[in-house]
Amino acid sequence: MKKVFCIGELLIDFVAEKQGNDLSRATHFTKKAGGAPANVACAISKLGGKSIFLGCVGDDPFGQFLLGVLKTEGVDVSMAQLSKTFTTLAFVSLAEDGERDFVFSRGADKELEYDPTLRKSLKGNILHLGAATALLGGSLEKAYGKYLFDGLTKDMFISFDPNFRSDLWKENEEQFIKKCMPFIEKSHLCKFSLEEAQLLSGKDDVNQACDFFHKMGAKIITVTLGKEGTLLSLTDSKKLIPSIEVSPVDTTGAGDAFIGCLLYQISDLGNFDPVFQDCDVLEKMVVMANKAGAITTTNYGAIPSLPTKEQLEK
């Protein structure tokens, strides 16, 4: 089994308890572990895979809490870094109009330093670059560029999820698009939501968007479409793979469950070639990954809702 290195942010989400209040009126918040790459690492280890989380948290109680959550889920956090800067915090509430009210206090996640000694362990494994905050700057952004380069030279399978958050890129969408391009060009697998596929390609039609990415160099593309399932696009074929019917209560983390489950299955392939494009194999994997996404929506919170292998096989 290959190891999956998930690189990026791990942060505290303070979620307002009484939804319907904007942040100016919210009084009580629940502390939760958050960060897309950390969720993906948990999704993989809950399924029985080997995930390693590489990110930076503050050397403070919040940082300890976060690393503890990942450890409990079976993620290897021995390469995580600690900083004197406070752990990154996000405050979230749903206002009366259903809009998300969001305040973000960026701290230690940006300080992840590139670690050249890791190059040896990366060889022949899987690299997942899926941080919502990585392209916002800091040494984390520099590390992303360097790990991408290492991935290319170390015979790795590279996966990219842009995790676009409109709250973080309000006036700077063009910059976000530009920064994503090298990752789309070089990765073996790109996971987009419909909104991301449209934003990054400038095309409304999802098929045209995928063709645009393939022309840039993208190989395997998955566009997740909520309850409609996932569009799997390879350079010579496209297929919409339906999801399963569930009664969702909270869709947080569905995308992370999806990509985590896909990467877990890729990590479990015997002799895998980083440029494989086997349509039948990938279709079966997406069917499973859709299930993982769907199951995650049936409970509250991201990490607690990620399925185990037994739940997935039921």
Window 170-209: residues binding ligand ATP (CB under 6 A): 193
Q: Supply 250's token pair.
A: 């909270």
The answer to whether 293 contacts ligand ATP (rule: CB under 6 A) is yes
Minimal distance, residue 294 CB to ligand ATP, in Å: 3
The answer to whether 164 contacts ligand ATP (rule: CB under 6 A) is no
The answer to whether 13 contacts ligand ATP (rule: CB under 6 A) is no
Angle between helices 279-296 and 254-267 (to 10 degrees): 140
Q: Which of 314, 293, 283, 310 is nearest to 39 (CA)?
A: 293
The Cα 177–Cα 254 span in angstroms is 23
The answer to whether 294 contacts ligand ATP (rule: CB under 6 A) is yes
Among 214, 297, 303, 305, binds ligand ATP (CB under 6 A): 297
> Binding string to ligand ATP for residues 213 to 242, with x set by CB under 6 A, is what?
-----------xxxx-xx------------
The one-letter amino acid at 4? V
Minimal distance, residue 241 CB to ligand ATP, in Å: 8
Angle between helices 173-186 and 138-153 (to 10 degrees): 20
The answer to whether 301 contacts ligand ATP (rule: CB under 6 A) is no
Among 34, 255, 260, 307, binds ligand ATP (CB under 6 A): 255
Minimal distance, residue 40 CB to ligand ATP, in Å: 10
Select 155 or 167, whichever has its Cβ closest to ligand ATP: 167
Select 51 or 305, whichever has its Cβ closest to ligand ATP: 305
Judged by CB under 6 A, the number of residues near ligand ATP is: 20
Backbone angles phi, psi at 192, to 5 degrees: -120, 150
Minimal distance, residue 113 CB to ligand ATP, in Å: 27
Beta bridge partners of 55: none
The DSSP letter of residue 105 is: E
3-state secondary structure of 215: helix
**CB-based contacts of 208, cutoff 8 Å, min separation 6:** 201
Spatial contact of 131 and 9, defined as CB atoms under 8 Å apart: yes
Return the CA Rg of the chain.
Answer: 18
**Helix, strand, coil % (nearest 5) of the chain?**
40, 25, 35
Report which residue's Cβ sits closest to ligand ATP.
293
Minimal distance, residue 256 CB to ligand ATP, in Å: 5
Window 90-129: residues binding ligand ATP (CB under 6 A): none
Q: Which of 244, 217, 251 is nearest to 311 (CA)?
A: 244
Minimal distance, residue 242 CB to ligand ATP, in Å: 8
* Binding-site ranges for ligand ATP (CB under 6 A): 193, 224-227, 229-230, 243, 246, 248, 251, 253-256, 258, 290, 293-294, 297
